[in-house]
């Protein structure tokens, strides 16, 4: 007999619509799994069973079943406030903070009919690309708990991979959806800047941070993205919404059909290459080669892209990363509660001269234009998702900020420039290593090109025939 968590999110949606399972029954099933499994994973910052069951009952009796996420469980990332639920932002400095109101993204998924089971774990203020802070236990990779789950949406990815959620929203300012999704063998989507009105990125420094879905397969990711956008309508009736001619959602149908022939570029260089030793591991290269083989067999055009050095990128991005920490709402004695890396970033960020910040913003805006021109002849650009397999828990240097930054870059050199460019991207698992770790690739689209990415991702997913399974231990 198939257990509920073994179904995809789309299959659960269909069961709910046919009234073969109720929102309350589904919420209870996942809450039971969280209680049993999460102590070994650390995917949740907060679990709210009573509120979740009350919400599920409300959805069942008072929300129209036409709501796109009707009755489906998820969790809010602990960077997003939900009224009445602790919001710790991954930090000991906010242990007792309980907001009175909810963030726009939380309101959006509620409006779409979802049922929140709690808050997924995140590193302190979502700054690192791993989820191993002092405010809670480290978030471990369900495929091998000795390894990290990535970050900063590491809790969301670990929960989905271990079958504690069918899918989960995340946020991505430098790879924070795609990194943990790839590390945990999932599909992660970073939408175009402005695509999700409740997480547009336009209010963040350099327009980096956007909201998007993490899911077990391409169709489930499309289902959740549609639900995140749905309250604004299609095309989204929102001043921050991107409109790409002929490429509007909803995306679920496109992800299910997976149709079309496309011109794909293959990129193996990164804008970090002049500043750091970037090595693509055998496992990452094998996944990329497998994807190229599949796309070639499907009749897509494949073209290797010549390297395009960007020696100014590392300094410009470092400036923004550090300056972004300057706004952390902690001062005075409260700084002692921050983790060493965060304190280092805070001090560096608040010391960045205005001229240096302005020059970095200008440089990155010009870089965005160059990237879009470089990619213009392709429907999508293929890269490794990660440069290596996930590192062990505790691998990152928590005391030396410079070394920590270098470690993050060497693991994730292909993600941050996509945020700077405002482009959409999707990560798709392709194959497993000899040790059973999933490895995937990243596809980067044109501005507003999410539909094309869903179509290509669905084709890749079908052809590689990876089972949408959970690790055997869970």
Which active-site residues does the annotation give? 77, 152, 176
Q: Residue 8: CB partners within 8 Å, gap ≥ 6?
A: 166, 216, 217, 219, 220, 468
| φ/ψ of residue 397, rounded to 5 | -75, 115
Spatial neighbors of 397 by CB under 8 A, at least 6 apart, are 403, 404, 407
- Residue 26, φ and ψ in degrees, nearest 5: -65, -45
C-alpha distances (whole Å) from 20 to each of 8, 13, 69, 260, 436 are 15, 10, 16, 35, 34
Measured in residues, the chain has a length of: 474
DSSP one-letter string for 81-130: --TTS---TT-GGGTT---SS--HHHHHHHHTT-EEEEEE--SGGG-SSS
Residue 165's nearest CA partner among 68, 41, 34 is 34
Element (DSSP H or E) covering residue 371: helix 354-375
Kindly give, in sequence order, each residue whose CB lies less than 8 Å from that of residue 90, ignoring residues fewer than 6 positions away: 45, 78, 79, 121, 122, 123, 124, 125, 126, 131, 133, 135, 136, 152
CA 394 → CA 386, 388, 398, distances in Å?
Answer: 18, 16, 9
Exposure string for 376-400, b = 16+ CB within 10 A, e = fewer:
eebbbbbbbbbbbbbbebeebebee
CA distance 76 to 105: 9
Nearest-5° Cα angle at 25, 187 to 1: 70
Q: List C-alpha distances in Å: 27 to 34, 73, 137.
A: 11, 6, 24
Judge whether 121 and 78 are in contact, CB under 8 Å. yes
3-state SS assignment for residue 69: coil
Closest CA to 343 of 334, 353, 355, 335: 335
């Amino acid at each position: 007999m198939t257990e509920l968590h073994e179904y995809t999110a789309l299959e659960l949606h269909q069961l709910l619509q046919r009234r073969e399972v109720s929102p309350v029954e589904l919420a209870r099933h996942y809450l039971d799994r969280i209680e049993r499994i999460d102590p070994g994973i650390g995917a949740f910052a907060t679990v709210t069973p009573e509120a979740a069951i009350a919400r599920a009952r409300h959805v069942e009796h008072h929300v129209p079943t036409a709501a796109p996420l009707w009755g489906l469980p998820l969790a809010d990332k602990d960077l997003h406030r939900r009224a009445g639920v602790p919001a710790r932002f991954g930090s000991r400095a906010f242990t007792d903070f309980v907001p009175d109101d909810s963030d726009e993204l939380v309101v959006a998924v509620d409006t779409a009919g979802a049922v929140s089971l709690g808050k997924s774990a995140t590193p302190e203020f979502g700054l690192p690309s791993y989820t191993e802070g002092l405010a809670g236990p480290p978030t471990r990779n369900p495929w091998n708990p000795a390894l990290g789950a990535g970050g900063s949406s590491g809790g969301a990815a670990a929960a989905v991979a271990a079958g504690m959620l069918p899918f989960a929203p995340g946020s991505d300012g430098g790879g924070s959806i795609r990194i943990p999704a790839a590390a945990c063998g999932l599909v992660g989507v970073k939408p175009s800047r402005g695509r999700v009105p409740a997480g547009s990125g336009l209010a963040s420094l350099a327009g980096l941070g956007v909201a998007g879905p993490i899911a077990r397969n391409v169709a489930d990711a499309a289902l959740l993205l549609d639900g995140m956008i749905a309250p604004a309508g299609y095309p989204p009736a929102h001043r921050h919404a991107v409109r790409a001619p002929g490429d509007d959602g909803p995306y679920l149908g496109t992800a299910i059909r997976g149709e079309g022939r496309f011109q794909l570029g293959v990129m193996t260089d990164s804008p970090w290459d002049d500043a750091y030793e970037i090595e693509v591991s055998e496992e990452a290269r094998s996944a990329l080669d497998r994807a190229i083989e599949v796309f070639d067999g499907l009749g897509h055009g494949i073209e290797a892209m010549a390297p395009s050095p960007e020696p100014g990128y590392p300094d410009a991005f470092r400036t923004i990363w550090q300056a972004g920490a300057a706004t952390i709402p902690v001062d005075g004695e409260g700084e002692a509660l921050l983790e060493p890396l965060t304190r280092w970033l805070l001090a560096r960020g608040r010391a960045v001269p205005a001229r240096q910040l302005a020059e970095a913003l200008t440089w990155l805006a010009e870089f965005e234009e160059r990237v879009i021109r470089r990619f213009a002849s392709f429907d999508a650009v293929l890269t490794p998702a990660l440069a290596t397999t996930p590192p062990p828990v505790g691998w990152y240097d928590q005391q030396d900020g410079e070394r920590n930054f270098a470690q993050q870059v060497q693991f994730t050199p292909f993600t941050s420039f996509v945020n700077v460019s405002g482009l959409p991207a999707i990560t798709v698992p392709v194959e497993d290593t000899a040790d059973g770790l999933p490895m995937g690739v990243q596809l980067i689209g044109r501005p507003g090109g999410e539909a094309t990415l869903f179509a290509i991702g669905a084709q890749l997913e079908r052809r590689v025939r990876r089972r949408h399974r959970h690790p055997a231990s869970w």
